[in-house]
Amino acid sequence: MSSQLVWFELPAADPERSKRFFGELMGWRFESWGDESYSLVADANPGGALSTGDGHPVIYFSTDDIDAAVARIGELGGEAEPVRDVPGVGRMAACRDDQGTRFSLYQHAGEPGA
């Protein structure tokens, strides 16, 4: 099973203020996507977004076998919500490691089993 960091989301109580901050700090440009609560980071690698809200950043790791990865998370003492299909994107699962740190797994729609 292979994986890599592919996406991040930063919650922002004040999205415009966060855009100014991260724009100055990282040189990021932002593009609107969907409604006003979500802005893509146009030039980050890996890609990411700012979303309206508060809480913790979420990182997404790709995997070529999300079902096996979710099963392994449980074996290692972590937790995973049921895998959900995201039309046109792939399959995702919100997870926590054995210490409660949040992350998400993602299997691209083109991968076998997706």
Residue 102, phi then psi, degrees to nearest 5: -85, 145
Question: 68 lies in a domain?
Answer: yes
How many Cβ atoms sit within 10 Å of the Cβ of residue 50? Answer: 22
Whether residues 69 and 98 share a domain: the answer is: yes
Q: Which domain holds residue 84?
A: 58-108
Whether residues 7 and 47 share a domain: the answer is: yes
Contact at 8 Å (CB) between 58 and 103?
yes
- Note the pLDDT tens digit of each residue in 6-56: 999 999 999 899 999 999 999 999 998 877 778 999 988 999 999 898 888
Question: 13 lies in a domain?
Answer: yes
Whether residues 64 and 97 share a domain: the answer is: yes
- Note the pLDDT tens digit of each residue in 79-111: 999 999 999 889 999 999 999 989 999 999 875
Query: Looking at residue 63, which CATH number applies to its domain?
Result: 3.10.180.10
Closest CA to 107 of 89, 80, 95: 89
Domain count, the chain: 2
